[in-house]
Structure 1
Amino acid sequence: MLGIVPHLAWIAVAAASSVDHWNALNSSVGGRLHVGIPLARPCFELADTAGSTDATQCEAIRNGWTNSLFLVDQFGAFMNTEWGSCQKTSQSCLIHGLNVSDPTPSDPPNVCEQGSVPPFYIDVQNASDVQAAFTFSKQTGVPLVVKNTGHDYKGRNSAPGSLALWTHNLQSISYNASFVPAGCPASNVKPGVTVGAGTIINDVVAFAEANNITVVTGAETTVGISGGWVMGGGHGALANTLGLGVDRVLEFKIVTPDGSFLTANECQNTDLFWALRGGGGGTFGVVLESTTLASPKMTLQVAFAAFSPNNTNATRGFYEVLAENSVRWAQQGFGGYIEPFQALYVTPVLNSSATADTMQPLFAYMESLAPTDPGVQVFATEIPSYGAFFETFIANSGAPVGENAVIASRLIPAANFANETSRASLVDALLQTLAHVTFDLTLIATTPFNVPDDGSTSVTEAWRTSIWHAVAEGGWDGAAPLVNETAAYTGISNAADFLRAITPDAAYQNEADVHEPNHEVSFWGTHYPRLLEIKQKYDPDNLLMCWHCVGYDPNSPRFSCYI
């Protein structure tokens, strides 16, 4: 018998289910139905959840609270902690991310509450596990969510009273230099790396390095490369010349809500393949693995420039230099990441002397700051591989985890860089946005500027003409009053309005405002009507529904914790 029956009260639709249903589900998935327990539960004396107080476990949790490699292995953990909370009701189970040793949040009278952590989850090992979950959801009405590594800025991997499909432990990885997508002619052969849904970027980069190949990835080490990262678009430092993740994926293995286990590629289930290449994760089915194009190992040129973070007087001049030169740098294959006080660029196209020459305007500006700013750094260097670049410049500089985060993004097209007037307006908007964020403003120069839209993907066409992907970041620490949380969402959306005012409706769905206006156009451009048709074909009952995903219903109880 299932040993979790006392916690059935957490299921919002318990009346539609029964102990027999849960026992049958547990049996059908080989006993891998588990109770979902909030990560910080062992630190609380008082709780309205499963689990128990445990000082040893609590110490390990406090030590790992801001470590994504720790969090990714915990079902009850979310990289941005508000998505384990029910924000609308202020029900949560959190400690302070900025002061993990502070016992106050977990001491009485504070109570650990389930929040938005799914009260049950299946540790997915194969297609039949997913098929069983779909059958169960249809029979009982219990909502489903797909949770992989815990990275999601919009809460699509949690929901109150839900059953989660945890794909994190699908961590296979292999390389086939002569991969042919199933059902395709032998002439379609390409080198491919096949990865399970839970395989994280850190492991993919290391695998590629060991096999002397290059695989395009994002910057966050613990993001799953087969999950929402690729299905939402998948930008990375080499996207400018090698394409987004969706440009490079060769095949998906997926379980659709009707229970079918399908292969989607350019030769079979082509409509689904198109939808999965940009339509978003957790929407059309549950992907178990994907195969992505591998490129040869390549030498990269890196340019880095920085000044002291507290030298805010230098920020306008910094942005002006970047705005004046960024179209040219994009044409030369540069991708990279820009903070308000530093820029990291990388290209596989130029040699070292050409890189030094083209970066001279940026380097000269930095050198002009050096006499009064001891924090100035400038260098250009050659790196032997993407793996070496990743380990040296990216792996230890990821986004903050273990705290609440709100973001908003905008794709900034080449038109905003076209002349002196448009560049001045852009710099003004950046400075206004920066003044209104509580964390940071990151400009991500990883758009596929040199990879034209061939119609094979469903991401917005705006990716192809954009120079920057701007991300404004804010948030709060630990549990907070509803009014403070609401203010954080409103504030970050207002900050992005300065960029919205001068750009077309275009944003990256994986890193977007929770309340993105006109999101169908912003995320998918002209592709939304076709995506909706495909969604209705493969998921007519809307079993997979997530916030701002294709076909979502904002009035669903699934979203009762959103504010």
Structure 2
Amino acid sequence: MKTGLVFSLSLISTLTATARATVSWDQVRAKFGDSASQGRPYSKPCYDSWNSSECVSIRDNYLLAAPRTTNAGARIQTQWETCHTTGEQCLLDFTNPNNRGAVDSSRCALGSVPKYFIDVRNHKQVQEAFHFSRNTGIPIVIDNTGHDYKGRSSGPGTLALWTHNLQDISLDDAFVAEGCPASYQAVTMGAGVQFSKLYAFAEANNVTVVGGSDASVGASGGWLMGGGHGALSNTLGLGVDRVLQFKIVTPDGKYRTANACQNKDLFFALRGGGGGTFGVVLETTIKASPQVTLQAVFLTFSGTIEHTKELWSVMIDNGLKWAEEGWGGYSTFGAFIYITPLLTPCEADESMKPIAQLGERLKAQGATNVSLVQAQFDSWLQWYSVFSKANKAMSGVSLPLASRLINKGSFKTEESREALLEALVAAYHVTPRMILLATAPASFAGDGQTSVTEAWRDSIYHITAVSSWQWNATKVDKLAGYKRVSQSIDNLRKITPDAAYSNECDVYEPNHEETLWGSNYRKLLAVKRKYDPDHLLDCWHCVGWDKNSPRFRCYFSEEELQA
């Protein structure tokens, strides 16, 4: 059995290598008609005509996520528009997009942007794409908004299935998953719906959904299938805890419904096993909860690492208590933003006394611009609108990152708390941009049928370390950037169990199968083999991946990373 699988993967790799040279635009256009397009880097119009209106618009909006998500060739993190190993790319200078010298001094190449795109509007197109891939060997990737820290929706020489234009959305007060007995209030949405649209829809219909911090992310793409965390996950669960049903085309060409009552193994895999692996999801139905009233606290200040260390110390000392009280949110250097739907205003004030007292200490210690706001919001969107204005996600730049899930054991003794604090400070000195996310389902047990790592349920924080490099970085620069975030998170690896979030982990995460999925990996691998027997879908560090596939030629090798 193992020998057969190795032979199959080897055959697919051979076909893929052949496909890069033999699948022509004429073939793709003849098969898919007007829904097909050739891959084009986001910045190519500027290489073609610097003063064109299209180039001017790109330069003016280069660092904004919204226009990138509507452009099939764009990526939010631009390292995935490049080929790390060859230097091929087509970028502008993100520090000054109007720097014409960046264009004049280089040439435009596809890099890791897919060679062809299909604008997916229905399941038959996806079935045809899988058939085409099987016959020609051209590898397929799945792309929605261009968000992917690990490059799984990109790939040189690939055919991308672009699901961004699947924009239907509806509310059902008594949704019944096909073949199931129970009914739920639920939102059904196409694969292209982003959180900006979902949050506005939920607000208009007086319901609450769980989602992420970036409004431009797709609500039912890789965010969801990787687990999906947000500020309400502590009390309402991860994104995968909320899913009632998927409509999906699997690589064997079948259009399927996956829920708790049919195709249950596939439903399990899609609830945490990762995107780009088990098929193309076209529609998702998620639970809708009643509108929530939120108590919120915002602390911001300007200061040194010593001031932020004090903030981290307070967060660690109160981590278990705040989790039990429903608090969730985010903290970066000089900022603390938390919400809870469980407490009254008086209870929230009492709970957050340590933060109020910290604010006074910071003023006395010389921190400037200290601001503390405690407020009530009558809905998720009311709070989110304030939060998002002050916390714009970075786009148009290269952002390698690594992460760790911090389990409850790290908060239980004085010794473990001190070890966590010192590890954070040590990580900061390697990568000063550290983000602490209180987005674990610490108070939400789930149904036991998701495939995310079990460590999510025993964690308080998800912590990320972020690095970056310049638009014209060399291969050596990029290697150093990846090594830097890995070295930073090593400080946390040493004191925590082997667990990280699959969507936001180290691109070169060691022992990734166990780290990302724990004991669920073996079952996930069986599901992968069942629904994708020809291994048509493959992505970096995904379930059942073939690390020798030519589609990964733009990633660094183990030898390069260890040099």
Q: TM-score, normalised by structure 1?
A: 0.94
CA distance in structure 2 between the partners assigned to 1:517 and 1:214 by the alignment:
37
Change over 3 Å in CA distance of 1:533–1:395 after alignment to 2: farther
Q: Give 2:380's aligned residue.
A: 386
CA distance in structure 1 between the partners assigned to 2:446 and 2:169 by the alignment:
29
User: Are the counterparts in 2 of residues 130 and 165 from structure 1 also a CA contact under 8 Å?
Assistant: yes
1:259 equivalenced with 2:248 (yes/no)? no
Letter in 1 for 2:403: S
User: Are the counterparts in 2 of residues 42 and 54 from structure 1 also a CA contact under 8 Å?
Assistant: no
CA distance in structure 1 between the partners assigned to 2:428 and 2:18 by the alignment:
41
Change over 3 Å in CA distance of 1:366–1:19 after alignment to 2: closer
User: Are the counterparts in 2 of residues 219 and 395 from structure 1 also a CA contact under 8 Å?
Assistant: no
CA distance in structure 2 between the partners assigned to 1:200 and 1:132 by the alignment:
26
Q: 1:403 aligns with which of 354, 374, 397?
A: 397
Letter in 1 for 2:65: S
Deviations 1:129-154 (A, max 9, x none): 11111011001000111010000000
Deviations 1:396-429 (A, max 9, x none): 5132100001000000001001111111110000
Q: Give 1:193's aligned residue.
A: 187
Deviations 1:61-116 (A, max 9, x none): 11111111111111111000010111100000001112111111111x41101111
CA drift at 1:57: 1.0
Instruction: Give runs of aligned pairs for residues 366-385 of structure 1, distance below 5 A.
Output: 366-371=359-364, 372-385=366-379
Q: Give 1:418's aligned residue.
A: 412
1:70 equivalenced with 2:73 (yes/no)? no
Instruction: Give runs of aligned pairs for residues 138-537 of structure 1, distance below 5 A.
Output: 138-185=134-181, 188-308=182-302, 310-371=303-364, 372-394=366-388, 396-437=390-431, 440-537=433-530
CA distance in structure 1 between the partners assigned to 2:161 and 2:555 by the alignment:
21
CA distance in structure 2 between the partners assigned to 1:351 and 1:552 by the alignment:
48
1:545 equivalenced with 2:531 (yes/no)? no
User: Are the counterparts in 1 of residues 25 and 38 from structure 2 also a CA contact under 8 Å?
Assistant: no
CA distance in structure 1 between the partners assigned to 2:355 and 2:24 by the alignment:
65
Q: 1:118 aligns with which of 114, 119, 123?
A: 114
Deviations 1:24-47 (A, max 9, x none): 3124xxx211111001111115xx
Q: Give 2:103's aligned residue.
A: 106
Letter in 1 for 2:268: W
Q: 2:47 aligns with which of 44, 55, 71?
A: 44
User: Are the counterparts in 1 of residues 18 and 137 from structure 2 also a CA contact under 8 Å?
Assistant: no
Deviations 1:464-500 (A, max 9, x none): 1100000100011212110000000001100000000
Gap regions ≥5 residues in structure 2? 1-15, 557-563
Letter in 1 for 2:31: L
CA distance in structure 1 between the partners assigned to 2:25 and 2:114 by the alignment:
17
Change over 3 Å in CA distance of 1:393–1:14 after alignment to 2: closer
User: Are the counterparts in 2 of residues 221 and 395 from structure 1 also a CA contact under 8 Å?
Assistant: no
RMSD of Structure 2 on Structure 1 (CA): 1.5
Letter in 2 for 1:191: Q
Letter in 2 for 1:347: T
SS at structure 1 position matched to 2:91: coil
Letter in 2 for 1:562: Y
CA distance in structure 2 between the partners assigned to 1:545 and 1:479 by the alignment:
29
SS at structure 2 position matched to 1:405: coil
1:61 equivalenced with 2:58 (yes/no)? yes
Q: How many residues of Structure 1 are paired with residues of Structure 2 in the alignment?
A: 540
CA distance in structure 2 between the partners assigned to 1:487 and 1:255 by the alignment:
39
Change over 3 Å in CA distance of 1:126–1:396 after alignment to 2: farther
CA distance in structure 1 between the partners assigned to 2:85 and 2:24 by the alignment:
28
User: Are the counterparts in 1 of residues 50 and 56 from structure 2 also a CA contact under 8 Å?
Assistant: no
Moved more, 401-410 or 386-395: 386-395
Letter in 1 for 2:106: N
CA distance in structure 1 between the partners assigned to 2:313 and 2:429 by the alignment:
17
Q: Give 1:3's aligned residue.
A: none
CA drift at 1:369: 1.6
CA drift at 1:350: 0.5
User: Are the counterparts in 2 of residues 230 and 278 from structure 1 also a CA contact under 8 Å?
Assistant: yes
User: Are the counterparts in 1 of residues 237 and 446 from structure 2 also a CA contact under 8 Å?
Assistant: no
CA distance in structure 2 between the partners assigned to 1:332 and 1:171 by the alignment:
36
Q: Give 2:4's aligned residue.
A: none
Gap regions ≥5 residues in structure 1? 1-9, 46-51
Letter in 1 for 2:173: A
CA drift at 1:245: 0.3
CA drift at 1:14: 4.6
CA distance in structure 2 between the partners assigned to 1:513 and 1:60 by the alignment:
33
SS at structure 1 position matched to 2:368: coil
SS at structure 2 position matched to 1:467: strand
User: Are the counterparts in 2 of residues 12 and 160 from structure 1 also a CA contact under 8 Å?
Assistant: no
CA drift at 1:20: 6.4
| Aligned structure 1 segments of 4 or more residues deviating by more than 3 angstroms | 14-21
CA distance in structure 2 between the partners assigned to 1:451 and 1:85 by the alignment:
40
Deviations 1:226-265 (A, max 9, x none): 1011100000110000000000010000000111110100
